[in-house]
Amino acid sequence: MYLETLDLTVVAIYAISLLLIAQWVSREKHGHKKDTKDYFLAGKALPWWAIGASLIAANISAEQIIGMSGSAFVMGIAIASYEWMSAITLIIVGKYLLPVFLKHQIYTMPQFLEQRYDHRVRTVLATFWLGVYVFVNLTSILWLGALAINTITGLDITYAMLLLAAFAAAYSLYGGLKAVALTDIIQVVLLVFGGLMIAYISMNEISGGAGVFAGFGMMLEQMPEKFDMILSKDNPHYMSLPGISVLVGGMWVMNLSYWGFNQYIIQRALAAKNSREAQKGIVFAAFLKMLMPVLVVLPGIAAVMLAPDLSAPDQAYPEVMKLLPVGIKGLVFAALIAAIVSSLASMTNSISTIFTMDLIAHSGGRSEQQLVTIGRVTSLSALGIATIVAQPLLGNFDQAFQYIQEFTGLFTPGIVAIFLLAIFWKQTTANGALSAAIGSAVFSITCKLYWPSLPFIDRVGLAFILCILVGIVVSKLEAKGENPKAIDYGSVDTSTSTGFNWATLVIVLMLTGLYITWW
């Protein structure tokens, strides 16, 4: 499939407009030079709509659109649990966790760990996250994005990765988080519109022009197995999404790690004007997460009927895009690029924030402007490394989304254990935290090798419990009592507005209805 001239014109207009707007919002008052707060936290002045849009734009990228559609092609709507469970996780983060981080006025999550534990914990976790962000997350965004561009336009994958990296750098390198977050509302509008269009046209195609509802009804009738939210043990994909564990097990650990303790995501909320503004942004993002399966999962399921003979599941979304008419195809392609470059820009900004603020700034001797320059060089370097290693790392995986979940699942239990112990148990020591971090990899790999029949989500849940126990035991053995750096959670303001509370109720009711309908 190749884009027509009109499609390419639409994409060009989008790209030029985004670059111009990013430079405009990144401008500074005369005589003011960007400091670290401006570059890494957008001057701590982000409004709620920018926070919510940026959370989703950072989250929804090629690994979600292409990868999750590919997983939906294989296992059906059950993969939407990652999206719908994320909505309620965001609410929990907004009420119980985010107020702690905002009170500590941090730039990065490793910085919080140093405030609560010691510098060793900060350095270990900062180094770990840099490795994961560059070699897992950034590479997957580049690779899957380039794969989509290759399928749609025929452009060589290597050139596609280079173009994506150059575009992301061009619009975000100067302005930092402010440029990314304030343009993400454009990205999200494009993403939602493009996703709705492709869902509409694919289901209308299935019904032979009889409409969306007729097409959706045919999918329910002809592929009922694709609409099981809770997979039974005899389902061939039970190992990926093990039944009720999706609701009560390791999925919570994965989601809390991603939405609550992940620099790449939480940085937007840390840049809020205040706690209330951050919470409003999180509610906005939670509602958008409820919509995401319509935009991403349904096209993947539709591809089973429209293109059943795909050579790889991750080709599902690009294949369905071929149904779009000229002009609309360019708009949807622009939406896909918007999702990719926004995530690339967000990821590189978080990489530069951690590297600069956690590994460089604490040593002193550098001005604010020098630190901003280091951040920009770090962003460029990360993009360059990821472009080089993307194909060797990901080229042989059919379902890249599942690969990402499997890999991060090795370390997620320890990360969640470290943060929850830091916040809620005053006796946790730095050695206890480090022991939990090391135990996460040990427990996860041991279970994978010697208990291969244990689904990976259950493995995450089991490893998390063991990490908590290790952290408690080691801390108790040191017999130091209450840590002098312990957090007084009782002094943290976790109150929420009436609007936040009503939004929570609506989301819980929506989730309950969805799971009852497709249990």
Q: Write phi, then psi, for 272 (nearest 5 degrees).
A: -70, 155
Q: Does position 31 have pLDDT exceeding 70, yes or no?
A: no
Mean pLDDT score across all residues of the chain: 87
DSSP 207: T
**Residue 272, helix vs strand vs coil:** strand
Round to whole Å and give the CA distance between 29 and 200. 45
* 286 found inside a domain: yes
> Which residues pair with residue 46 across a beta bridge?
272
Round to whole Å and give the CA distance between 421 and 490. 15
Q: What is the number of domains present in the chain?
A: 1
* 10 found inside a domain: yes
What percent of the chain shows pLDDT beyond 90? 35
Q: What is the pLDDT of residues 56-68, one digit of tens each?
A: 888 887 667 877 8
* 496 found inside a domain: no
* 288 found inside a domain: yes
Cβ neighbors of 381 (< 8 A, separation 6 or more) are none
* 486 found inside a domain: no
Q: Write phi, then psi, for 243 (nearest 5 degrees).
A: 55, -130
Range of the domain at 368: 5-23+35-398
Indicate which CATH number applies to the domain containing 102.
1.20.1730.10
pLDDT value, residue 442: 94
* 476 found inside a domain: no
pLDDT value, residue 436: 95
* 503 found inside a domain: no
Residue carrying structure tokens 């919080």 = 112
Higher per-residue pLDDT: 402 or 79: 79
Q: Write phi, then psi, for 231 (nearest 5 degrees).
A: -80, 140
Q: What is the pLDDT of residues 159-213, one digit of tens each?
A: 999 999 998 888 888 788 888 888 888 888 888 888 888 889 899 999 888 888 9
pTM comes to 0.89
* 409 found inside a domain: no
